């Protein structure tokens, strides 16, 4: 766990995904979580920040304050305030108000991606169903991903506007004990 005394080595804490990681106040470098130990932080200070070895804690406090001013959230990303500054310089203030209503949470982004995915799937199924010649070919392929999980990939070929179209339809993770009864309909 982070301790306030680590600031004397030039590090503050950055919490990402519930994991505390040390962040250098001079170079904004984030070290691995296992480096959150006094001897490792001191070694980093002596080897990489040798010019700051004799600096007092007040120096590191000023540097930490500067670094924290740039940070908006747990990931250290500075997005909305910087965008607001850019918009206020370039565009009208009404555009700035629109930006302030934009939610930047992970849930909003993942929900929007899921909505776009559903929209694309519905457009594709609509095209396949309204295919002029009513000929559709489906290719099913089983493959494994990097985690060694079985994936069922389905591709569809159909005629649209007198052109043959090939599209990726969907991909599903298969149960390790899958059989033909498991394949989604």
At residue 11, does pLDDT exceed 70? yes
Q: Where are the domains of the chain?
A: 4-71, 118-173
Position 15 scores a pLDDT of 75
Out of 68-77, 88-97, 107-116, least confident range: 68-77
Strand partners, 140: 154
Percent of the chain with pLDDT over 90: 5
Predicted TM-score of the model (pTM): 0.40
Q: Are 14 and 21 in contact (CB under 8 A)?
A: yes
Those residues with Cβ within 8 angstroms of residue 2's Cβ, 6 or more apart along the chain or in another chain = 12, 13, 20, 22, 36
Higher-confidence position of 10 and 71: 10
Q: Where residue 76 falls among pLDDT bands split at 50, 70, 90?
A: very low
Q: Are 159 and 131 in contact (CB under 8 A)?
A: yes
Between CA 100 and CA 93 the distance in angstroms is 11
Out of 11-15, 62-66, 74-78, least confident range: 74-78
At residue 96, does pLDDT exceed 70? no
Position 154 scores a pLDDT of 92
What is the C-alpha R_g of the chain? 26
Between CA 86 and CA 81 the distance in angstroms is 9
pLDDT digits (tens, 9 = 90+) for 25-67: 777 778 887 878 888 888 887 777 777 777 777 777 777 766 6
At residue 167, does pLDDT exceed 70? yes
Q: Are 179 and 171 in contact (CB under 8 A)?
A: no
């Amino acid at each position: 766990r982070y301790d306030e005394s680590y600031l004397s080595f030039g590090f503050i804490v950055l919490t990402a995904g519930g994991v505390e990681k040390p962040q250098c106040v001079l170079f904004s470098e984030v070290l691995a979580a296992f480096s959150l130990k006094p001897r490792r932080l001191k070694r980093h200070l002596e080897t990489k920040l040798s010019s700051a070895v004799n600096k007092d804690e007040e120096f590191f406090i000023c540097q930490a304050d500067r670094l924290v001013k740039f940070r908006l959230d747990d990931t250290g990303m500075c997005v909305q305030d910087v965008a607001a500054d850019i918009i206020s310089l370039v565009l009208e203030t009404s555009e700035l108000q629109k930006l302030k209503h934009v939610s930047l949470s992970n849930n909003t982004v993942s929900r929007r991606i899921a909505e776009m995915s559903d929209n694309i799937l519905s457009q594709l199924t609509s095209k396949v169903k309204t295919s002029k010649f009513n000929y559709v070919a489906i290719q099913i392929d089983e493959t494994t991903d990097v985690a060694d999980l079985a994936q069922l990939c389905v591709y569809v070929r159909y005629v649209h506007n007198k052109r043959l179209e090939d599209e990726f339809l969907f991909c599903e993770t298969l149960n390790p004990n899958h059989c033909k009864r498991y394949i989604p309909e």
